[in-house]
Structure 1
Amino acid sequence: MTEDGPPLPDALERHRDTSAGRIRSRSVGEPGPGVPEVVLVQGMAVADYLMPAVAELGRWTRAHLVELPGFAGSGQATRKLDVPGYAAAVVEWLDAAQLGPVVLAGHSSGTQVAARAAVQAGSRVAAVVLASPTVAPIARPLPRMLLRWRLDGRHEPPGLTESHLPEWRRAGVRGLLHLVRVHLRDRIEESVPALTVPVLVLRGADDRLSTREWARGLAAAAPSGRYQEVPGAHTFLWADPGSWSAPVRQLALGAS
């Protein structure tokens, strides 16, 4: 990895309309027989940093990065959305994409959207991946979240903040504050027990936005959950894009 971070891979870009706004997706890889495709929901207003990790999944299946209305490369939202509203938009995207049962994943705040979307989507989701799930009690309320984010930043590799800046500017201060508020109000602990498919919780060992005990508890709350710790901080997928490929592949093959 260079000081600026891993390069963005080539990807197939598509735009699909939902009632919440136009959604951009970027896809890497080819679908394989008997292997579910993976759909990843972006993090807090940012998406580009996840593309190298999507490309790693694209080595063995087709993987898609879905960007939420109002953020990254998607169109403006048609209305104010909370976490269930963003989840409903993802479900509409799944319906339009017609991929068959997928592994639905999220990173950071995207885990909250993915968990709720998986509950709403039912049989359209074969398994769920929660990578660096949020928001842990240790990072509530907002002042504590900001403190934990700064502490976590000490363990993140160079180039991460710089990669986020264009997408943060696009979101604007109001958009970012709205996202933070609705995600702080959402409790992923309420969504996970309702999941009826296998769940994989991944956490970076140096993640300062959560604790090992809380992340383990999330996995234990799922009817079929597994916890795995990997090297790195909250954004471990930026530092080592391939770190999640093997455990996600194992989950996908077991769910097929």
Structure 2
Amino acid sequence: DHDWAYERQILELPIDGVMRKAVVTGGKLAIFEAMDAATGEYLWSIDLDMQNVVAEINSATGDKTLFPNAIPALDDVLSEFSLPGICPDWLGARNMQTSSYNPATYTLYIPISDTCLDDDTGQRWQKYPDPSTDDTYGIIKAVNLASREVVWTKRQDGPQAAANLLTDTGLLFIGSVDRWFKALDQDSGEVLWERRLDNALNSYPVTYQVEGKQYVAVATNTGGIHTRTMRNAADINLPPTGATLWVFALPD
């Protein structure tokens, strides 16, 4: 289920010294790719190093070569098989939580889950943090699509279940399954404001203005499949409450 089923953004990007209109999208493996918006020509890929499934990407065509141990043998599929240590888990390093983009700096802000799983016949799979890391699940990466380099990376305990929201003033709002709603500095990832809410944030934050006053709103709920598959994370406690709409007024 490591598919490329999420948002596609049409962006103007400098590629080999020429401005091109490109379609940029990223799949569950946190591999982001660009294609020419008019012709579908493959332009480039960025592998954010969150996966151990794709071994190589052809720089001319985008064709991918998989690691042999990431593919079960046909006889095993029909009986029993074991694929230990697959990264990311089936929900992906990224999922429906959409990224935000700043066209002035060509920077894409990406919510990521740093998770793996052991895929064994007959077991109810559970995600766990990448063993090579510090046991945290959540990552936010800022990636410059012009240079194709990571600008900054910020780790946190819980992965995001909410989409990113970027404002004209440089605030990046994020929400995670461990109930934190935060505003980060878009240039550095520094936390400028945070508030722990009543439940997991698994919605799309919005900002709007009424009579000159700016607000940001976000909904909380149980987190759905993003929390049901995190039973290994005993420190992430979610109350059995219903949906709540939170609205915050930004300071003048």
Does the pair score TM above 0.5? Answer: no
More helix by share: 1
Larger radius of gyration: 2
Q: Which one has a larger percent strand, Structure 1 or Structure 2? A: 2
